[in-house]
Structure 1
């Protein structure tokens, strides 16, 4: 009976060490930091142990191996005689001792595998943080108690790791891929709402998107010419109610400055004809290079405290105009909808009308399409069509790629204004 009680105690102790090993190794750093902020002292201890786990794992292995050896010794003494007695009722041959030993070994090993290994490790894997914060104090105390042996084995392990050129400490670096994986898991489990999932995804894409994906392109910019008369200026303002207008001398590459529509309104309220004089023209224009990412552009706007910027290329030519509203829309997505700027309109379950200037990543998200081939060669849906055709498209030109048909349905000059994107049967040949 004493030996049986000893085996039960050894199984329980081994289960405790197995749970401790898995829970502390599997505990998520982010969740531990949240628990630490909520006042869980054990969470801070687990984080410290994860940062320098060498001594802890050395202690665990020492303890588990010692328990396994003691379990074998006690197991043989505890049940081999009983097993031999029951087998002798059916068999009394020369192999009785060996058969009894093998059966005793299988029974003891099975008990340890099930109750000292598999079951506690499964529990620790299911809730690693909860288990970790409860056992970390006891594990630290045991590590101190076994300190001489721990220092020896941990030192030898560190020496071997250095000889093989491997790190001796754990480095936690959260990558974008890991964040995306956590987002996907949260969205599937329902803990992350669809709007939250979309918003976080858009924010992560700010480093991948460049200004041309959010700006108003050159041909769409409405500007005032310094020589425009009062009636022309009035028509432009009435047709395009913006807060500011660029002022140019003939074309966009000869910018003079910009004017606030409030200044023009003051002239009208005084009964004067609209006149673009130096008193109302602000000549300090905020410029941004087209190579900036949206994240860099947001930081630039924050530093400059401006509402809009003129986007220029490497030849100092104006290629577009971007506002704070444009940048906000780029990552707010459908959470803030500007109906006059809707770029993707769903016709039915299988087709969409898409503005040519729509970023390809936005279309991929809407139609649930994997990343298109060679995505670094273009930014917009129109750019994708041109790249695949290897020429400027004409009306009704189309391509088929990865189960979708892209057809140009509205062309103005060399600009693809609108495309029809539709899902096609798997048998359609790709172009």
Structure 2
């Protein structure tokens, strides 16, 4: 054959190999979520791609048959077509015993470079740009190619399956989507500007409902405002005026003797109707939802939905009340400061770029967000910043006690009757400062 015919055949082989490489990467990289959306919108080819991904063994066997056959044939033709011309070129300045080897090496290098560039590298990079679109475009011709290679592909797959069974290799693809996968997609969307900052914030917090326990968002025991059965009318009026809550616990004598709760609206109606508040009775006291402190916020949402309640008392394993929580508390956890105005008594106060004043009762998840820390050590053992300090120090902290973690110094500022009221958190900028503090 002439040089032109050989070049033409090599171009055809490169094109065939490039098509197979393009198809292989596109079908492997096409995302099921996008394909399902296209299939539901009426794109039949998208469903064919999904079916092929479910049973991809025949395709990959046929693809490898085609790629290897083309590569071998291209090498044979290329070496025979170009070597004589390279030999004439080499003989122009060298006619020694290495002339044949040099011409073969040049011919092999040229053909290999052409296949790597046009049949492998470029098609695969193109396929990664838009895998779903390309997969849909090539699915029909590739199915014909699979049918043509079916007998040989079946034989190769049979051998492969036997080897997989011998070595106990699981060949089932795991397509389960985890929170980490979704979080990575959200991060990429935020970087690209597709997902707004507040939307990214909401989505992350919604997924955290599965991980955060009720104590991380409840009003703690010492901050619960409640009425007793013998509460005076003046005391009830003062609490209603002082605390802007919509619901108040009613207890027999102390907070652990919970009877129910009253809605502030019902009491205000009695006040407006000039009725006495000296006795809270069954007409105003409602049954309260009681939950264990081990529930996650997601599980609590289900409880609220099934019971039609928006208010619950949280108890521990010793049947002691540890706090109360409302549906509004959960929504605040999700929405954060995007919808809740910053108040004077907020738990985290940013003093400057590198220091914060933080209440000891602040949930540890809020600390992670504020300080942009991914993980706290052994965070399954505590719920609040005060709990972290006690767990880390292995004692009841005193003022000036500190812990250093992840480039931050957590220092106790105020302790009231063994309760850690406030801490100063400082970012350690200089690495030498960090080493100095750790040595102390």
TM-score tier by shorter-chain length is over 0.9
Cα 1:71–1:342 shift into 2, 3 Å: same
Show the 5 A alignment for 1:3-402.
Answer: 3-340=6-343, 342-402=346-406
Cα 1:262–1:98 shift into 2, 3 Å: closer
Larger deviation, residues 381-390 vs 55-64? 381-390
Contact 1:226 1:247 in 2 (8 A): yes
CA distance in 1, matches of 2:103, 2:57: 40
| Per-residue deviation, 1:370 | 4.0
CA RMSD of aligned residues (A): 2.0
CA distance in 1, matches of 2:342, 2:310: 21
The match for 1:409 among 413, 435, 438 is 413
Larger deviation, residues 19-28 vs 99-108? 99-108
CA distance in 2, matches of 1:415, 1:104: 81
CA distance in 1, matches of 2:347, 2:320: 26
Contact 1:359 1:379 in 2 (8 A): yes
Larger deviation, residues 11-20 vs 82-91? 82-91
CA distance in 2, matches of 1:261, 1:308: 13
CA distance in 2, matches of 1:132, 1:17: 11
**TM-score of the aligned structures, taking structure 1 as reference length:** 0.93
| Per-residue deviation, 1:33 | 2.9
| Per-residue deviation, 1:94 | 4.6
Contact 1:354 1:418 in 2 (8 A): yes
Contact 2:216 2:365 in 1 (8 A): no
Contact 1:353 1:420 in 2 (8 A): yes
| Per-residue deviation, 1:67 | 0.7
CA distance in 2, matches of 1:169, 1:388: 43
CA distance in 2, matches of 1:423, 1:87: 68
Contact 1:257 1:281 in 2 (8 A): no
| Per-residue deviation, 1:242 | 2.0
The match for 1:429 among 407, 428, 437 is 437
Q: Which runs of 5+ in 1 are unaligned?
A: none
Deviation per residue, 1:360-393 (Å, 9 max, x gap): 2211221223422222221111111222232223
Partner of 1:281, secondary structure, is coil
| Per-residue deviation, 1:132 | 1.7
Alignment length, in residue pairs?
Answer: 431
CA distance in 1, matches of 2:194, 2:14: 37
| Per-residue deviation, 1:95 | 4.5
**TM-score of the aligned structures, taking structure 2 as reference length:** 0.92
Q: Which runs of 5+ in 2 are unaligned?
A: none
Cα 1:328–1:83 shift into 2, 3 Å: same
Contact 1:158 1:168 in 2 (8 A): no
CA distance in 2, matches of 1:26, 1:11: 22
CA distance in 2, matches of 1:117, 1:374: 48
Contact 2:230 2:278 in 1 (8 A): no
| Per-residue deviation, 1:356 | 1.6
